[in-house]
Amino acid sequence: GEQVEQLPSILRVQEGSSASINCSYEDSASNYFPWYKQEPGENPKLIIDIRSNMERKQIQELIVLLDKKAKRFSLHITDTQPGDSAMYFCAASGSTNAYKVIFGKGTHLHVLP
Amino acid sequence: DPKIIQKPKYLVAVTGSEKILICEQYLGHNAMYWYRQSAKKPLEFMFSYSYQKLMDNQTASSRFQPQSSKKNHLDLQITALKPDDSATYFCASSQEDRGLEQYFGPGTRLTVL
């Protein structure tokens, strides 16, 4: 299987709080997990990624966790700001039989003032 | 300066016609991809090319044909257009194989009437 499940589809949080998005994958050969942010009318932009040799990665307010045994990974945005409102996509790639990235269906994050 | 160019930005076509979507990348990457995004299927992988060689094709219809005349070009020819083909088509590229760190172009929004 090559599906990537992403939850929730819609997430509303208060400004200053944390937001968490969870993803799971099926292909145990996956070894690269990027996260993309897409604003309305724009292209997806890579914001953070993690490889299978890591369990945690942080870039400023973005934290990514990877649990290879459970085949789950997650994005945590701390101290959310209105500018964080956007669509977020998780993805998985590195399967041995493809050059493709499988994306989740996206999470629409709304940061409420 | 934009590093990935997609032309045109907007495209309107009639059912049954044929169109070519242009993609050029100036990032020095050796792998290029096409994705489709619509309300029904966000960020759907279509094709991947590495060194101008087709690596993966997840598009069931032969109406979609990628064309690579140069290493940094990957155009998408669509024939016998249908209204269901209406979507935003994103080109992406990466330096490493297997889809790592893909960067997306601005997209071509196609509307088929």
Out of B45, B105, B106, name the one closest to residue A100 (CB).
Answer: B45
* pLDDT at A88 exceeding the cut of 80: yes
Percent of chain A topping pLDDT 90? 81
pLDDT band at B1 (very low <50, low <70, confident <90, very high): low
Tell me which DSSP letter residue B59 carries. Answer: -
Which residues in A lie closer than 8 A to residue B90 (C-beta atoms)? Answer: 43-44
pLDDT band at B97 (very low <50, low <70, confident <90, very high): low
- CB of B98 within 8 Å of a chain A CB? The answer is yes
For chain B, the residue count is: 113
Q: Per residue in A77-109, is it b (16+ CB within 10 Å) or e — as a string?
A: beebeeebbbbbbbbbbbbeebbbbbbbbbbeb
What is the model's pLDDT at position B58? 80
* pLDDT at A76 exceeding the cut of 90: yes
Which residues in A lie closer than 8 A to residue B99 (C-beta atoms)? Answer: 32, 93-94, 98-101
What is the model's pLDDT at position B25? 96
Q: In what order do the strands lie in the sheet with B64-67?
A: B4-7, B19-25, B75-78, B64-67
* pLDDT at B60 exceeding the cut of 80: no
pLDDT band at B56 (very low <50, low <70, confident <90, very high): confident
Interchain pair B98, A49: CB under 8 A = no
List the 14-33 stretch of A: residues with Cβ below 8 A of B.
32
Average pLDDT, chain A: 92
> What is the distance between the alpha carbons of residues A10 and A33, in angstroms, rounded to a whole number?
21
Interchain pair A99, B107: CB under 8 A = no
What is the model's pLDDT at position B98? 57
Out of B56, B90, B103, name the one closest to residue A98 (CB).
Answer: B56
Average pLDDT, chain B: 91
